Amino acid sequence: MTKISVAVAGQALLHGPIDGAGAGALRDILQQADAAFVNLEATLETEGAWPTKTKTLHLTNAGGIASLKALGFDALAHANNHAFDLGPPGIARTRSVVESAGLQLIGSGMSRDEAAKPAFIQGRAGTVAVLAVDLGPQPDIVYASADRAGINPLRMRRHVAVPPAQHAMLRELVAALGDDKREAARAAVGYRVDHAKDLEVFGTEVAEGAHIESGFAADPADFAAFDLALTAARAQADIVAVAIHNHHWDPNWKQMPAWVADLSRRLIDRGADLIAGTGAPVLQGISFYKGKPILAGLGNLIFHTRRSETYDRQGVDVWTGAACRCVFDTAENGARVEILPVAVGRPARQVGEVAPAPVPLEGEAARHVFDAMTADLLEEDRARVVLIDPARR
């Protein structure tokens, strides 16, 4: 019987180094695992590069990367909406600094092949592979291709259905605006390759149905490409983890969208052992499928936002997170999940100050986080989850 442990936490959105004081319990969880990874929600400062956005850049430096290494991470997932903040130069610089620090970078690269490559982490008990994908929505320019730098895509496409009467009204609207002919002409000469076969309304495909409904489905070409990478990783590793990043949020950020759960189960069916997700900056509940963990909304570990006051004023708790250690028994089908609730690492209070590290929560505060994360579990799955006491680690 062999047990292999994989540790993961919410996103590391950091602008520079952090003070590791007080993070001892978190560091132990990460360093004692066979493999530990986190989503790097930033790109490296890069001389000569310029922003690809008009707002909300998240840039870090070598000191920030060194802090993540010191905490105990082995790999950084980089398929997210801030990886392309400085375009291809930022992608290249990030890989250079991350690898120089002794970490592996996954999910971004100078080509799609590089962005799709998994990290292989050799632990004491076996090999762990980690892959990273971005689910969108983002402009196509951020996604890597055969000859263009970017991030690894697994784009989710929205589809909508409406009853026949509404469908006919929408078709009439599109025809009156000339959108149907306009987009058909663009598709005919290759300006568009994803033009809806039936009806498209303001960029969304709309089909006839019994009632109004919407959902998301993976882009078939993206899924086929990712499935090949997942299968190859499965053949070379004892455990395969998939980091997903998603900005198709439901109105209630604390609720994992049903389609994310569906996608996670599909990836487990294709060979994944662990799904670890980020995107909405808050914690969501966890679930299991075939005994394997779906941690699809891990929120934040470090969050150097410039909108602290806005989140606080709106009552959005971006300051509570968790690190999870998933222990897989290779002789059984499933895993145990150990949860360490943490107070998220906040921004530095003033320029030149080192930002604080995330620190473990204790007592009732820790229990509250644990109960919220496990509230929707079936009884048989609840037995798989334990709360880590930082004082008895």
CATH 3.40.1690.10 matches 3-154+219-392: no
The mean per-residue pLDDT over the stretch 284-298 comes to 96
Burial class of residue 190, CB neighbours in 10 A (0-12, 13-18, 19+): exposed
Task: Write the pLDDT tens digit of every residue in 300-342.
Answer: 999 999 999 999 999 999 999 999 999 999 777 789 999 999 9
Q: What was the pLDDT predicted at 21? A: 87
- Residue 194 pLDDT exceeds 80: no
Q: Sorting pLDDT into bands at 50, 70 and 90, what band is 193?
A: confident
Q: Sorting pLDDT into bands at 50, 70 and 90, what band is 144?
A: very high
- Within the chain, all domains assigned CATH 3.60.21.10 are found at 3-154+219-392
Q: Coil, helix or strand for 209?
A: coil
Structure tokens at 385: 């989850």
Task: Write the pLDDT tens digit of every residue in 10-54.
Answer: 999 999 999 988 899 999 999 999 999 999 999 999 999 999 988
- Cα distance between residue 132 and residue 153, in whole Å: 9
Q: Specify the pTM.
A: 0.94
- Residue 64 pLDDT exceeds 80: yes
Task: Write the pLDDT tens digit of every residue in 7-16.
Answer: 999 999 999 9
- The number of beta carbons lying within 10 Å of the beta carbon of residue 224 is 10
Half-sphere exposure of 333 (CA within 13 A, CB side): 6
Provide CB contacts within 8 A for 9, sequence distance 6+: 26, 30, 38, 298, 301, 321, 322, 323, 324, 342, 358
Question: Where would I find the H helices in 37-118?
Answer: 62-71, 87-100, 112-116
